[in-house]
Amino acid sequence: MADQEEPVATSPEKRAQLDDAGSTALIDDAPLVAELRHAAADAEDEVTGDAPPPLGRWALLIRRAVLIGVLPLFSAWYLIQAITIQLPDRDLLISPRAYPTAIAIAMLAVSLLVSGLELRKVLLGRRGAAAGAGAPTEGTDDDDRERITNWRDAWITLGALVVYVAVFSFLGFFLATTVFLVGVSTFFAPRKWLRNIIVSVVFSILVYLLFTELLAVRLPAGLLGFI
């Protein structure tokens, strides 16, 4: 089933690009999208020089580090933790170590397999590049996968979420949420700042009412607690 006979662009991202190219009537954020696309293209050129690779350099590095190194190391660490679980004084038919140890061994074996496969791919790719032949390069078999094209955006969004969670109790639900929503949406759609602010305020109020009135969940009032 996996091997379809013809390449069909099934990832939403790719399709969206095709659609955009094909359709003339873009509404709403059209100029913005175009502008952002140029900006993104420029940024990518700075990093790589000419043709952008399927994966960014950092993304590729992290991917290899995780697959080759981090997964086996984590599995080994988990195994050590499992076999050193403190046992109670009394005799047990089934040790609390048994089940985690079994998982740990299986996980270590599978992670070494993953690591080996990735390592082989890296080495084959390098040898192919040295020979100048059309050897399999990174990402060729992953073309149907969704790929993050702009890691900066993803990290910034995650960072904003971390800050949001950190100030959630102190600022209170309403303030924290409104600031978070306005911030992130305006980061992605700066020209629509007014719309972003209005929608963010309305949404925060709606969620607050939904949780406190309908679901009886108390959300932190924070700095607005005096009201």
Partner 1 sequence: MDAINSLLAAFGTVLQPEYLLYAFVGALVGTAVGVLPGLGPSVTMALLLPVVFALGDPTGAIIMFAGIFYGAMYGGSTTSILLSTPGESSSVVTVLDGYRMTKAGRGGAALLSSAVGSFVAGIFATTALVFVAKPLGAIAITFGPSEYVAFAVLALSTAAILGGRPTKAAFSALLGLAIGTVGIHSLSGVTRFSFGVLAIYNGIDFELVTIGMFAIVEVLFVVGMYRSSGQIHGVKMVGKLLMTAREWRRSIGPWLRGSVLGFLVGVLPGAGATMSSYLSYGLERNISKTPEKFGRGKGMIEGLAGPEAANNAAAGGALVPLLTLGIPGSAATAVMIGALQGLGVKTGPLLLRDNPDFVWAIIASLFIGNVMLIILNVPLIRIWVKLLSVPTALLMPMILVISTVGVFSLSRNTVDLALMLLFGFIGLVLRACDIPLAPLILGLVLGPLIEEQSSRALTVSQGDWAVFLSEPTAVVVLVLAALILTLPLWRRIPGRIRERNSRREVLR
What are 146's two structure tokens? 């969704």
Determine the Cα–Cα distance for residues 146 and 14; give it in Å rounded to an integer.
9
User: 164 or 223, CB closer to partner 1?
Assistant: 164
What are 167's two structure tokens? 């100030």
Residue 115 CB, nearest approach to partner 1 (Å): 10
Residue 226 CB, nearest approach to partner 1 (Å): 22
Residue 175 CB, nearest approach to partner 1 (Å): 13
Q: What is the DSSP string of 134-159?
A: ----TTGGGTTS---S-HHHHHHHHH
User: 123 or 190, CB closer to partner 1?
Assistant: 190
Residues contacting 209, CB < 8 A, separation 6+: none
- AA identity, residue 50: D
Residue 127 CB, nearest approach to partner 1 (Å): 14
User: 103 or 223, CB closer to partner 1?
Assistant: 103
User: 23 or 226, CB closer to partner 1?
Assistant: 23
Determine the Cα–Cα distance for residues 75 and 111; give it in Å rounded to an integer.
7
Determine the Cα–Cα distance for residues 204 and 226; give it in Å rounded to an integer.
18
Do the Cβ atoms of 183 and 214 come closer than 8 Å? Answer: no
User: 123 or 158, CB closer to partner 1?
Assistant: 158
Neighbours of 180 (CB within 10 A): 20
Determine the Cα–Cα distance for residues 178 and 104; give it in Å rounded to an integer.
44
Residue 91 CB, nearest approach to partner 1 (Å): 11
Residue 49 CB, nearest approach to partner 1 (Å): 19
What are 24's two structure tokens? 């003339």
User: 212 or 223, CB closer to partner 1?
Assistant: 212
Do the Cβ atoms of 55 and 63 come closer than 8 Å? Answer: yes
